[in-house]
């Protein structure tokens, strides 16, 4: 098999993925977290796509915390599987939101959060690797 020797660096690869994804989600989530109730309301309205119309500020705040704090947990490899599942759900809701808007219904627009949802659910099955606080 081509490049089979890389298999012995599996944990380093997971660390690389965790760090890269974690830092980008910290950078993506912190502005939402500090945006306040108006920002949270806009984000939380995505829950209306699945029939939940109450408390959009609360749902938006949870999404912002999930992205910001979830990024930190990814980098550390702490509470890794729950963080991945929450991030996966958040990205699935972002996908649904973008698909429901006529302006953003283009696959090129909603494919990014869709891919991230798939990555996070897959990482929840794989685990954080040896170089983490959780240490599989």
pLDDT of 38: 96
What phi, psi does 93 have (nearest 5°)? Answer: -65, -35
Alpha helix ranges (H) inside 10-79: 10-34, 37-44, 56-76
pLDDT of 5: 86
pLDDT above 90: residue 3: no
pLDDT above 80: residue 79: yes
The whole-model pTM stands at 0.92
pLDDT tens track for 37-60: 999 999 999 999 889 999 999 999
Contacts of 13 (CB under 8 A, 6+ apart): 6, 129
pLDDT tens track for 121-135: 999 999 999 999 987
Nearest to 32 by CA among 76, 1, 4, 67: 67
Q: Work out the pLDDT band at 25, boundaries 50, 70, 90.
A: very high
* Domain edges within the chain: 10-126
- CA–CA distance, 4 with 15 (Å, rounded to integer): 19
CB 136 within 8 A of CB 128: yes
- CA–CA distance, 9 with 132 (Å, rounded to integer): 14
The mean pLDDT value for 55-79 works out to 97
Q: Which is more confidently placed, 56 or 5?
A: 56
Q: What is the mean pLDDT of the chain?
A: 94
pLDDT of 136: 63
CB 62 within 8 A of CB 116: no
Nearest to 109 by CA among 127, 120, 94, 123: 94
């Amino acid at each position: 098999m081509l490049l089979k020797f890389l298999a012995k660096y599996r944990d380093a690869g997971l660390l690389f993925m965790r760090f890269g994804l974690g830092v980008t989600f910290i950078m993506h989530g912190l502005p939402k977290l500090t945006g306040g109730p108006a920002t949270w309301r806009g984000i939380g309205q995505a829950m209306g796509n699945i029939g939940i119309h109450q408390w959009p500020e609360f749902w938006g705040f949870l999404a912002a915390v999930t992205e910001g704090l979830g990024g930190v947990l990814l980098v550390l490899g702490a509470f890794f599987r729950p963080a991945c599942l929450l991030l996966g759900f958040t990205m699935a809701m972002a996908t649904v939101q973008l698909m429901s808007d006529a302006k953003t219904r283009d696959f090129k627009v909603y494919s990014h959060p869709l891919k991230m949802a798939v990555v996070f659910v897959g990482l929840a099955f794989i685990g954080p690797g040896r170089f983490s606080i959780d240490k599989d």
